[in-house]
Structure 1
Amino acid sequence: MEETNPLGTEKVSHLLMQFSIPAIIGMMVNALYNVVDRIYIGNAPALGANGLAGITIGFPIMIILLSIGLLFGVGGATLFSMKLGEKKPREAEQALGNAFSLLLFSGLLFMILGQLFLAPILQLFGASATVLPFATEYMRIIFFGAIFQIVSLGLNNFLRADGQPKLAMVTMFMGAGVNIILDPVFIYLFDMGMAGAALATILSQFISMVWILSYFLSRRSHHQIQLKNMQLKLPVATRITTLGLPNFLLQLGNSLLNVVLNMNLLAYGGDIAVSGMGIVNSVQTILLMPITGLVQGAQPIVSFNYGAKKFQRVKEAQKLAILTATAIVVIGWIMTRLMPELLVSLFNREPELIEFGSQALRAWFLFLPVIGFQIVASNFFQATGRTRSAIFLTLTRQIILLIPAILIFSRQWGMTGLLHAAPFADGVSALVTGIWYYVGIKQLTKEEAGLGSVDYEV
């Protein structure tokens, strides 16, 4: 019954804290998977800058893995939350079962394709002859663990939607904690190099997957994964995929962005520029993962209350999320202004790399303060089922604006232009999202006033 579900009755600010803080902590910890690998690899004498470049080349593939987990995880959890809000628990459990099947199948497919076409993929993604052996050693093992990452990441969204935000956080803590402990053991003690870093990553993801499955296959969960719900139903699978598309396309675009970026960095600055941007990517991951966690925490609140037609609660959750996101990115922006050299030196202390990395950090994050709003406002359309609007807005920054800006600005102004493509895309995308969001909230207010359902899709 609705009155027993706190998503529809409890104070919105308390709910946002309850759901978002564990998600933020969890995403920050989850970000450490790739970042810790880079820190250990960058400081390993036998790996250094080439090792950093190798993992940077593999980063777009890691993003694709993430995107598949989000496609079926966020899409499934959004449908799950909306059906619970509509008081349709059986349909919610069917969304859970179908999403789990989609996660399993896609993880297995990704693993097989990765093993078959590893070298050509890495060369396509910009690996030079020097860097290719480092990237190959790392990514071959990562591909073997693809199913672990996709399933654990995807089902983590259902933990929050099932009312277990703290358990979702603990799951990420477990995985990242194991990774942090195993990394130095495999890389330094066993002298396994790139392979050691990758092995530590997939073992930690395996533990996370087992932990989540033990919850959803037990009576502890409010809604279990059941065999009867795992049989794919086309309308359910299609709806899950549609709802997850904005996150999927955003991350896929991020992967394409990194490929274009790596190729242009190689052309204008060589392997040292690729290594330096690997550090920038790591810092960006740390700075923006709290926003991802905030959005994940807000999603079930917004989706449930939208399904329950409690539009005032939807608007209140959005307002609080935007204010919080802006505060987070402003703090991150100040750090990139005051201590760029310190941030770069965590990964590698080669003078040339510190010089380039510091310059790149200052330029790349120039308009960081507007990004919190852009991400949260875009997610509003996804959480309320306005998929086309969400897809358009999430692609604006990374694909529609940033990739062309990198290609045009680098040709006009070289490396300086390339590094300033990001603030250009950040500023324009925030402006476009602001206009879209203003219209969206006005239409929601009309619905609240009882003027009927209004479509404000693209």
Structure 2
Amino acid sequence: MNKTNDKSKFLGEEEIGKLLLKFSIPAIVGMLVNALYNIIDRIFIGKGIGSIGIGAIFVSSPVALILMAFGMLVGFGGNSLSSIRLGENKKEEAELILGNAFILLLIISIGLSISGLIFIEPLLKLFGASDTILPYAVDYMSIILIGAPLQAVGFGINAFIRGEGNPRIAMITMLIGAILNIILDYIFIFIFNMGIKGAALATIISQGISAIWVLSYFLGSKSMLKLKKENMILRIRIIKNIFSIGFAPFSMQLAASMVTAILNNSLNTYGGDIAVSSMGVIHSITMLILMPIFGINQGAQPIIGFNYGAKQYGRVKEAFKKAVIAATSIAIFGFLTTQIIPHKLFSIFLEKGSEMDTIANVGIKGLRIYLAMLPIIGFQIVSSNYFQATGKPKHAAFLGLSRQVLILIPALLILPKFFGLTGVWLAGPVADLTASVITSFFIIRDLKKLENGIKINNRIIEEQ
């Protein structure tokens, strides 16, 4: 009871700016660490192999996103269900969910690994690999697919650590994997000269160590829940509940995979390997800018949600505004950086020389156009999250998918027919602008309702 009162006082009374910092900084660190796997791979591959290696990883990313989607389906769904059971003081049921989730992750990931390895070449061609890029992509993805069960366990079961109330341990899991990946990337690519296979091997070894760390936590004495053999017998009831709760993040991730596949094919058709490799660099730069914004998003969610539930609408509005200002500040800084020093950004991923010049000629134009609407992205992301935090998941899902599916896919299919490769780059800002306009309509309407709630609350206080 005291803990609940403390939390109420903390979230309901602490100055909003301080709260946002306290909640956002750990989330930003976690998001950046999570992004390091792909970014570090691309930096080392770009320096050690060249742009063709970056292109190979980018055309492989839809497969990686599918693997991640199934990890989210089981990991996020199982963790949410387990947290509910713990809140109901049903520890045995929560442990049963953990055991079922573990077996589900293994079965699904092994199935994906085998089917992926059998159909690897047609899959990669479907996702936009050219004849030049295909051999590199096959070398990379075949090793990643072998390690799919390690990734599934490390990522999916780590969610249960966070759900137990141990975000520090969950963050350490990601740090272990990311730091080890950086070290092994350097050793395998530059010392052992293993090329793109070395990058893939570094990834699955680091994921394997993360998986061992996660399993040792639930088999040791520090965890509240225990991973027990008798709980690893699948129950249809539990599987249905896990899939039901985990479907939303799963569908979002699958949508991201589909968008990336369409983007790869458009780039390959209108710009060839150079355009695909350029987009690999652009995507990495974009991730570095967006991860802190996603961290602010995660930090703002409990603050907005708690105060909305407590009917402290003035604090809800303040938290939303400050989150938008913080996210927009980062977006503007990222926009200025990409417009002023794009060549230096590309040099992080590629060695100087003729190849760097060739990629930069295409990629810098692409970067400047594709991220032209970056300053308004912070508003769109935080606004979508506002609806999730205030218990309107349908609004949040619609706004979240509006850019990725409803606008970006048609833009990628239509604009290049008129503008060629420039049309592919233009699809990004067109989607960003349109999604932000749609989001503005929803958020203005909802904030007006919030303003009415503030007036009602103030009237009650005055009457008292």
- Structure 2 residue aligned with 1:428: 434
Distance in 2, matches of 1:311 and 1:103, equals 40
1:311/1:93 CA distance change after superposition, 3 Å: farther
Distance in 1, matches of 2:5 and 2:75, equals 22
Instruction: Pick one of 133, 136, 142 that aligns with 1:134.
Output: 136
1:366/1:97 CA distance change after superposition, 3 Å: farther
Matches within 5 A, 1:172-187: 172-187=174-189
- Structure 2 residue aligned with 1:49: 51
Amino acid at match of 1:111: S
Matches within 5 A, 1:220-259: 220-226=222-228, 232-234=234-236, 236-259=238-261
Q: Report how far residue 15 of structure 1 moved.
A: 5.4
Matches within 5 A, 1:102-121: 102-121=104-123
Q: The residue matched to 1:133 in structure 2 has which SS?
A: helix
Distance in 1, matches of 2:135 and 2:382, equals 39
Matches within 5 A, 1:253-268: 253-268=255-270
Q: The residue matched to 1:38 in structure 2 has which SS?
A: helix
Amino acid at match of 2:171: M
Instruction: Pick one of 150, 153, 172 that aligns with 1:151.
Output: 153
Matches within 5 A, 1:302-381: 305=306, 309-312=309-312, 315=316, 318=320, 320-348=322-350, 349=352, 350-381=356-387
- Structure 1 residue aligned with 2:460: none
Distance in 2, matches of 1:394 and 1:233, equals 32
Q: Report how far residue 266 of structure 1 moved.
A: 1.3
Amino acid at match of 1:162: E
Contact 1:145 1:202 in 2 (8 A): yes
Distance in 1, matches of 2:325 and 2:164, equals 26
1:99/1:445 CA distance change after superposition, 3 Å: farther
Q: Report how far residue 337 of structure 1 moved.
A: 1.8
Amino acid at match of 2:44: Y
Amino acid at match of 2:203: T
- Structure 2 residue aligned with 1:389: 395
1:58/1:87 CA distance change after superposition, 3 Å: same
Q: Report how far residue 291 of structure 1 moved.
A: 2.9
- Structure 2 residue aligned with 1:36: 40
Q: Report how far residue 77 of structure 1 moved.
A: 3.9
Matches within 5 A, 1:57-136: 57-80=59-82, 88=89, 90=91, 96-136=98-138
TM-score, structure 1 length as denominator? 0.86
CA-to-partner distance for each residue in 1:81-108, whole Å, 9 max, x for gaps? 5666x65554666655554444333322
Q: The residue matched to 1:378 in structure 2 has which SS?
A: helix
1:338/1:395 CA distance change after superposition, 3 Å: same
Q: The residue matched to 1:435 in structure 2 has which SS?
A: helix
Compute the RMSD of aligned alpha carbons: 3.3
- Structure 2 residue aligned with 1:270: 272
Q: Report how far residue 117 of structure 1 moved.
A: 1.3
Amino acid at match of 2:376: V
1:326/1:155 CA distance change after superposition, 3 Å: farther
1:214/1:437 CA distance change after superposition, 3 Å: farther
1:311/1:63 CA distance change after superposition, 3 Å: farther
Q: The residue matched to 2:337 in structure 1 has which SS?
A: helix
Amino acid at match of 1:3: K
TM-score, structure 2 length as denominator? 0.85
1:424/1:22 CA distance change after superposition, 3 Å: same
Q: Report how far residue 68 of structure 1 moved.
A: 2.3
Amino acid at match of 1:221: S
Q: Which runs of 5+ in 2 are unaligned?
A: 457-464
Identity, % of aligned positions? 45
1:434/1:81 CA distance change after superposition, 3 Å: farther
Q: Report how far residue 267 of structure 1 moved.
A: 1.3
Q: Verify: 1:282 aligned to 2:288, yes or no.
A: no
1:318/1:245 CA distance change after superposition, 3 Å: farther
CA-to-partner distance for each residue in 1:228-261, whole Å, 9 max, x for gaps? 6655555554444344333322222221111111
Tell me the matched-pair count.
Answer: 446
Amino acid at match of 2:420: G
Instruction: Pick one of 152, 163, 167 that aligns with 1:161.
Output: 163
Distance in 2, matches of 1:207 and 1:296, equals 27
Q: Report how far residue 395 of structure 1 moved.
A: 1.2
- Structure 1 residue aligned with 2:10: 10
Distance in 1, matches of 2:105 and 2:302, equals 20
Amino acid at match of 1:57: V
Q: Report how far residue 320 of structure 1 moved.
A: 4.7
Amino acid at match of 1:424: V
Distance in 2, matches of 1:281 and 1:218, equals 39
Distance in 1, matches of 2:156 and 2:111, equals 16
Contact 1:249 1:391 in 2 (8 A): no
Distance in 2, matches of 1:239 and 1:191, equals 47
- Structure 1 residue aligned with 2:459: none
Q: Report how far residue 442 of structure 1 moved.
A: 6.5
Q: Report how far residue 400 of structure 1 moved.
A: 0.8
1:407/1:416 CA distance change after superposition, 3 Å: same
Q: Report how far residue 137 of structure 1 moved.
A: 0.4
1:283/1:206 CA distance change after superposition, 3 Å: same
Q: Report how far residue 58 of structure 1 moved.
A: 0.6
Relative to structure 2, which stretch is displaced further, 67-76 or 167-176?
A: 67-76
1:242/1:145 CA distance change after superposition, 3 Å: same
Distance in 1, matches of 2:126 and 2:349, equals 26
Instruction: Pick one of 214, 217, 235 that aligns with 1:215.
Output: 217
Distance in 1, matches of 2:323 and 2:88, equals 26
Contact 1:374 1:429 in 2 (8 A): yes
Contact 1:95 1:236 in 2 (8 A): yes
Q: Verify: 1:25 aligned to 2:26, yes or no.
A: no
1:197/1:223 CA distance change after superposition, 3 Å: same
Q: Report how far residue 123 of structure 1 moved.
A: 1.4
1:444/1:344 CA distance change after superposition, 3 Å: same
Q: Report how far residue 274 of structure 1 moved.
A: 0.7
Structure with max Cα Rg: 2
